[in-house]
Amino acid sequence: MTRRKLNLSILIIGLCFACKQEIKTAPKEQVISEDVAIENNTVSIDSLIANLKNPYNDQVIVVAHRGDWRNAPENSLQAIKNCIDMGVDMVEIDVRETKDGQLVLMHDERIDRTTTGTGKVADVTWDYLQTVELRDGIGHRTAHKVPTLEEVLALTKGKILVNLDKSYEIFDKCYKIVEKTGTQKEVIIKGQIPYDQVKEEFGVYLDKIFFMPIVRLNNPDAKSIINSYLENLKPVAFEFTVPQDTIALISDFEAIRSKGSSIWVNSLWPEHNGGHDDEKAVLDTSVYDWFIKNHIDIIQTDRPQNLISYLRQKGLHQ
């Protein structure tokens, strides 16, 4: 073989080897970038708790109302898993007790609207609930089942914060499940009651779990209720119902934050936020600007993906 042919052969072999190396490494590089993307959409539970405790950072907490109920039945395991996957910070769920003492997720007193069964939750057994299926948002039967509180907290543990709604009257029982699953610092309970009543009825839990008062700003006693909580409890946050966006107490939000409590306002329906609601925001996300201008740290929404996209464009959500 001539020197020229030998050099040509070596060149061809070298090019083939380089091509093989490129083919081998390209998929690996792609996998790495996908992993990074997944990690960027997953915030540690410690970061979520730190954000909840800090009313002065620039990250707005997104709470999904009854889970991602537009894409899975409300209060279902899948609706909650969807929230975890899309990077929601907290999921709001509703807890009720069956006739035989099982704690399950169900918003209504009756199961008729959201399942294929009938009757009050308090009048049916857990065995019966296991025979029915959940319905989706427009009433169609699905393959999803009614979950227990324990199943839900096992799913959410270390991944997402949880707001237990409808649970105040049965919280002694709820707390046993919270304690069993080791989710004490990941759970929030709320109540629309004065501080003195909370202290009397719920005091044993106030240093074990997050309690958040609900205050309607059109209540004539709203300011005194707020001040009582700030003086005695300094709650991690207040949930405020804002029927009109002209209510004077909105101007107190900054002062409340300066005392260590975050501000929670729902974007669910117009009566919660003076008309700055999710359905308007679907047409124009600048509707959410009102929440940012008024220093609202926590927003409960029926449109979590829409809200997260808006906040991330503004650098207000990780």
Sole residue written with tokens 């096992």: 154
**SS3 at position 103:** strand
Cα(first)–Cα(last) distance of the chain, in Å? 63
Q: Calculate the dihedral angle through the C-alpha atoms of 221, 227, 230, 231, rounding to the nearest 10 degrees.
A: -130
Of 279, 228, 226, 288, the closest CA to residue 253 belongs to 226
The reply to whether 65 belongs to the active site is yes
- The sign one gets for the Cα dihedral 222, 165, 79, 139 is negative
Number of Cβ within a 10 Å radius of residue 227: 14
Q: Cα 177–142–74 angle (5° rounding)?
A: 45
The reply to whether 107 belongs to the active site is yes
What is the Cα–Cα distance from 226 to 241, expressed in whole angstroms?
Answer: 13
Contacts with 295 (C-beta within 8 Å, 6 or more apart), sequence order: 253, 254, 257, 263
Of 269, 271, 280, 270, the closest CA to residue 310 belongs to 280
Which residues are catalytic, by number? 65, 107
